[in-house]
Structure 1
Amino acid sequence: MGDTTPSIEDPMAEESVTDAEEFDSLAGIVADGVVGAAGGLVGTAMMSVVFLIAQSLGVFSISDFAILTELVGLSGYVPEVLVGFIIFLGGGMFPWPLLFASLKAYLPGQSSDAVSGTFFGGAMWTGFVLAFYTGQSGIALGLYAVLTLLAHVVYGVGLGMVFDYFATRPDSIV
């Protein structure tokens, strides 16, 4: 009996191996990390503008970032507000974009990462609003809640816009 297997090659088999190799390459992973960090930087910068508006209205204080310095045990050794903001920035640039990249397929707004980012930012806000609450009441409490929610939604939109931008680039593998 002769060999009965067809000699037709499957062009999709070669293409999927190439895509998998590109996706799993160290350069691809690093590139995705850089995209996430850039998105987190943009989102955190946009969020900071809203925080400055909230501070000008007297419902949030940038000095509240000193709480983060206190949590890591550096109080009294370093400039507390500056180090607290750097910790906050680091969180906005590394773990949150990684979580967003992992969850964005499950978030509403699958047509656009910016829309998914809106929902992601809203979900992040639930922890922030409690962690950074410093005794506001009345109208100040309402403004604090609304402006910090807006800040987180703006963060998510900025993060998602950067993901959208790099996903449409011809040489990107995001």
Structure 2
Amino acid sequence: MPVSMSQEVAGFDDESGLPPAVWEALQTLKAGIVSTGLMLFIFTIAEAETRFALGVPAAVAEFVGMPGQLYLGFAVFVFAGVVVWPLLFAAIDDNLRVIPAGEDVGIRGIVFALILWAAFLLLGSAGLQLEGPFFVLYLVFTLLAHLAYGYSLGILYARFTHQPTTQ
């Protein structure tokens, strides 16, 4: 598609015709959609394997400040996973380069997700009545889901925005 002189002067992206910041935000949201889908898949497997004894949906609702409102809490959780956290990651990605192995965007995504996991445990797990092996499974599955989310968010963000995955 030929680019008009006005698009070129205005700083629009050659391929999409969008301003670069808008194009990058849309690519970041794509990474958020895929990563949130992966996290939800892991949560679904965890719930199915434990016969729905882990209470992940209740923890999610608690985490977003809506205890007892599972559907609304789920919607807010998905919105945060698709929109809020990916855009926050994109905003602070350059600052995460100072961590050990921070030249790898996958590692930066994992560090970002570990912070989210810690917040999830502190804010979302307070009311759960888990004991013994169910508590351990809850910790393991929520950690795995967050690690998968962070890694995929970092890698897909870099891929979709045409950035190198390592420096």
Determine if the TM-score, normalized by the shorter chain, exceeds 0.5. Answer: yes
Shift of 1:119: 1.1
State the match for 1:6 in structure 2: none
Structure 2 residue aligned with 1:124: 116
From 62, 76, 95, give the equivalent of 1:87. 76
2-structure distance, mates of 1:62, 1:146: 12
For 1:71, the equivalent position in structure 2 comes to 66
What does residue 160 of structure 1 align with?
A: 154
Amino acid paired to 1:93: V
Q: Specify which of 46, 51, 61 is matched with residue 54 of structure 1.
A: 46
Change (3 A) 1:158 1:146: same
CA RMSD of aligned residues (A): 2.8
Give 5+ residue unaligned stretches, structure 1. 1-17, 170-174
Percent identity, please.
28
Structure 2 unmatched runs, 5+: 1-7
The answer to whether the Cα contact below 8 Å between 1:69 and 1:83 also exists between their aligned partners in 2 is no
> Deviation of residue 82 (structure 1)?
3.0
* Equivalent residue letter for 1:126: A
Deviation at 1:62, TM superposition (A): 4.7
1:132 is displaced (CA, Å) by 2.5
Alignment deviations for residues 66-125 of structure 1 (CA, whole Å, 9 cap, x no partner)? 4478739xx7xxxx4333222111001122112211222232343332221011111110
Counterparts of 1:164 and 1:132, CA distance in 2: 30
Return the index of the structure with the highest Cα Rg: 1
Give the TM-score, by structure 2 length: 0.72
Equivalent position amino acid for 2:141 in 1: L
Count of residue correspondences: 143
Please say if 1:140 is aligned against 2:129: no
8 A contact 1:39–1:162 mirrored in 2:
yes
TM-score normalised by the chain length of structure 1? 0.69
Bigger mean CA deviation after superposition, 47-56 or 160-169: 160-169
Q: Structure 2: how far apart are the matches of 1:70 and 1:122?
A: 20
CA spacing shift, 1:113–1:130, aligned 2, 3 Å? same
Question: What SS does the corresponding residue of 1:130 show, helix, strand or coil?
Answer: helix
